[in-house]
Amino acid sequence: MTRVKVCGLTRREDALLAAELGADALGFLLAPSPRRVSLGTVEALVRDLPPRALRVGVVVDPTPEEREEIRASGLFDVLQFHGREAPEDLSVPGLRAWKALAVRGPADLDRLEAYGNADAFVLDGGTPGRGGTGIPFDWSLLRGRPSPRPFLLAGGLGPENLRVALERVRPWGVDLNSGVESAPGIKDGEKLRRAFAAVRDFDARQDEMRREQTERRERGEAS
């Protein structure tokens, strides 16, 4: 099953809708951004939400003091590092670590091995140290490049291109942000629903193909 993360949440109604649609992770930007939220805002946004979805704090080159403040808040399950952090900077007691990497060429993918201590990767377009830009990168760069950890595909994903992205890349998960917005930080409910529908339709078709393959094998063995 393809995991779905909805990132850049700033409004409670958007967080509620994402949770209702079955999001596996909810992302909150704690670094400078039009979608930046404070820890107090995050607390209000996640209050009484179903516990199913992981709470992800997105940070860019946080100081040790900032990492400790985020950890001590108890609001998050995951820290997503979106800057120039060294591998040793990813270790925060009690929190999983996702490392975002800007993919502009093969050399960027070579860096994955250095972050083998990450629990997952977020592969995005953009410029290192600045977070994502909402622009898809060249997905063909991933062809034949196994990742040492599960990865989420990010960068301008929305209902219009999700189906193609899933067919071409087959990621562990997808990270939705600007592609399901009407304005920075304001999620478009219709786009969000269509995006989830595209993911679920892809997963259902993959399940059906696997069932058909199993049935063909069983018929072959029986004959």
Measured in whole angstroms, the distance separating CA 192 from the mean position of its chain's CA atoms is: 14
Residues labelled as active-site residues: 7, 124
Continuous segment of H or E residues that includes residue 184:
none
Reference 124, options 79, 80, 188; nearest CA is 80
Calpha distance 6→14 (Å, rounded): 9
Reference 70, options 97, 33, 105; nearest CA is 97
Give the pLDDT score at 146: 86
Whole-model pTM: value is 0.92
User: Which residue in this structure is represented by tokens 């800007």?
Assistant: 102
pLDDT tens over the chain, length 223 residues? 999 999 999 999 999 999 999 999 999 999 999 999 999 999 999 998 988 999 999 999 999 999 999 999 999 999 999 999 999 999 999 999 999 999 999 999 999 999 999 999 999 987 654 555 678 899 999 998 889 999 999 999 999 999 999 999 999 999 999 999 999 999 999 999 999 999 999 999 999 988 888 888 888 765 4
Give the pLDDT score at 4: 99
Provide the CATH number for the domain around residue 23.
Answer: 3.20.20.70
Measured in whole angstroms, the distance separating CA 134 from the mean position of its chain's CA atoms is: 13
Q: How many domains does the chain have?
A: 1
> Which residue segment(s) compose the domain that 8 sits in?
3-222
